[in-house]
Amino acid sequence: MKNTELETIEEKQISTFDRVSEVLIAIFSRPSGMIGFSIVILHIIIAIISPLIVPYDYKEINSLIMLKPPNETFFFGTDQLGRDVFTRTLMGGRIALFVTFFGTIIAIAWGGFVGIFCGLVGGKIDDIVMRIIDAFLAIPWILAMLLIVVILGTSTQVLIPALGFFYGKGIVRVARAATHDVIARDFIMAAKARGHGNFSIIWNELLPNVRDAIMVEGAMRWSWMLLAFSSLSFLGFGVSPPTPDWGLMISEGRGLMSFAYWSVIAPIVALSSLIIGINLSADAFAKALGIDRTQKAPV
């Protein structure tokens, strides 16, 4: 009797894989989630394989074919230096995705850590840390970013931690608020009364319950960070030419768009679709996990 009971139990064991696939199914069951997720995946695949599939060299300058409109040989036309816009558009997301992806990971890591820490210790330390974070929030991010870039350069080693730092502030707030909510609940009290150590309480009881909120916020931050990175490129403080980058391409093509609109349309569509895609996925992700993100403040 007992054996058969145990056997039926084994079948129903829930693994992490099940949980992930459950969330994925929930995301894909919404049209917005499906569209958003597909766009993001497509962009990531293109970013990875684009060097292998592009028809031309992205930096090959040819003064004979400057500003050609779209045709059979140059699907999206050519830019002011005669470079193939199609090639550059396909490759234009590589650095942006690379920098912002790792930037987001850094943001989640430090933002999550500090937020949980502050939520847990509370009191004076919490007050002081939040005051400092508030002070950082008061300085416009773009000013600080520009200053860093101007002085330290635009290499990825500078951009990734800098963006990660500035976009972790929002995550600190979310993680802190979530921690506050969770530690007031009885199951934390129960673990304390049982005599679990601090580490065990954080790892077993707290983390599983704040993880979702942090992940969703991280996904949102990713799209903001992408926006910021492209803006930097657009302003001429991000990726340096001739590396293909959407922000940079739009900036370069802008002056000529009255007669060569194709050189800006392609990167505009590419960048917008990626940001909207991330946003839609993040929204669907939040809904799949049962978190209503619209309640949060915009910064």
Partner 1 sequence: MREIIQNIKNLSIGFKSQDGREIAILKNISTSINRGETVGIVGESGSGKSTLALAMMGFAKQGLYPISGECIYKSKNLLDLSDRELEKIRGKQIAMIPQNAGQSLTPNLKIGYQVEETLKLHTKFDANERSIKITELLNKVRLPSPNIMAQRYPHELSGGQQQRVAIAMALAGNPDLLLLDEPTTGLDVTTQAHVLELLNEIAKDTKTSMVYVSHDLGAIAQVSHRVIVMYAGEIVLDGDVRQVLRSPLHPYAHGLLNSIPKLSLPGLPAAMPGTPPQPDENSKGCSFYERCELAIDRCNSSKPELKSISNSQTKVRCFRHDKLEEKELNKKADLILPQKSSEQRVLNLDNISITYARQSILDQILNRFSDKNITVKDIDIDIKKGETIALVGESGSGKSTILKSIAGLLSIKEGKINFKEDVNLSPDVRHRTNAQLRSIQLIFQNPDESLNPSHTVEEILSQPLKLYFGLNGKELKNSIIDLLKKVRLSGKYLYRYPRQLSGGEKQRIAVARAFAAKPDLILCDEVTSALDVSVQAAVLKLLQDLKNELGTTYIFVSHDLAVVRAISDRVAVLYQGRLCEIGPSSAVYKYPSHPYTEVLLGAVLEPDPDLKPKLAAEDIVEEKPPENGCSFQGRCPRVIGEKCFKETPPWQISNQGNAIRCHINIKDLLKNQS
Partner 2 sequence: MFLLILKRLGLGLITIILVSVIIFTGVEVLPGDACTSFLEREAKGELLEICREKLGLNVPAIERYLTWSYNALNGDLGFSLSGQKPISEIISVRIRNSLVLAFTAIIIGIPLAIILGIITALWRDKLPDIFISTIAIFSMTIPEFISATILILVVAIWLNWLPGIVIVSSNTTILELLPNIILPVIAISMVMTAHMLRMVRSNIIQVLSSDYVQMAKLKGVPYWKMVFVHVLPNGLLPAINIIALTIAWLLGGVVVTEVVFNYPGLGRLVIESISDRDLPVVQALALILALIYVGVNLTADLLTLLVNPRLRTLQIRK
Does the footprint of partner 2 cover residue 135 (CB under 8 A)? Answer: yes
State which residue, 54 or 141, has the beta carbon closest to partner 2: 141
Q: How far apart are CA 231 and CA 194, in angstroms?
A: 52
Mask 179-218, x = binds partner 1 (CB under 8 A)? Answer: ------xxx-xxxxxxxx-------xx--xx---------
Rg (CA), the chain: 23
CB of 75 to partner 2, least distance (A): 20
Q: Which long-range contacts (CB under 8 A, 24 or more apart) does 140-143 make?
A: 141/166, 141/228, 142/228, 142/231, 142/232
Two tokens, residue 232: 């930097």
Two tokens, residue 97: 């995705």
Two tokens, residue 171: 């995550």
Q: Give the torsion sign (CA, 252, 266, 58, 91).
A: positive
Compute CA distances 215 → 5, 82, 118, 256, whole Å: 37, 43, 18, 41
8 binds, among partner 1, partner 2, none (CB under 5 to 8 A by kind): partner 1
CB of 200 to partner 2, least distance (A): 35
Does the footprint of partner 2 cover residue 251 (CB under 8 A)? Answer: yes
Does the footprint of partner 2 cover residue 138 (CB under 8 A)? Answer: yes
Q: How far apart are CA 234 and CA 246, in angstroms?
A: 8
Residues forming beta bridges with residue 84, ordered by sequence position: 78
CB of 295 to partner 2, least distance (A): 6
Does the footprint of partner 2 cover residue 6 (CB under 8 A)? Answer: no
State which residue, 131 or 194, has the beta carbon closest to partner 1: 194
Vertex 107 angle, CA 211 and 221, to 5°: 80
State which residue, 79 or 205, has the beta carbon closest to partner 1: 205
DSSP 48-117: HHHHHH-SS-TT---GGGTTPPS-SSSTT-B-TTS-BHHHHHHHTTHHHHHHHHHHHHHHHHHHHHHHHH
Residue with tokens 């492209």: 230
137 binds, among partner 1, partner 2, none (CB under 5 to 8 A by kind): partner 2
Residues 148-207 interacting with partner 2 (rule: CB under 8 A): 148, 150-152
Does the footprint of partner 2 cover residue 87 (CB under 8 A)? Answer: no
Does the footprint of partner 2 cover residue 117 (CB under 8 A)? Answer: no
230 binds, among partner 2, partner 1, none (CB under 5 to 8 A by kind): partner 2
Contact footprint for partner 2 (CB under 8 A): 131-132, 134-144, 146-148, 150-152, 223, 227, 230-231, 234-235, 237, 247, 250-251, 254, 257-258, 261, 264, 268, 271-272, 275-276, 279-280, 292, 294-295, 297-299
Contact footprint for partner 1 (CB under 8 A): 2, 5-6, 8-9, 12-14, 185-187, 189-196, 204-205, 208-209
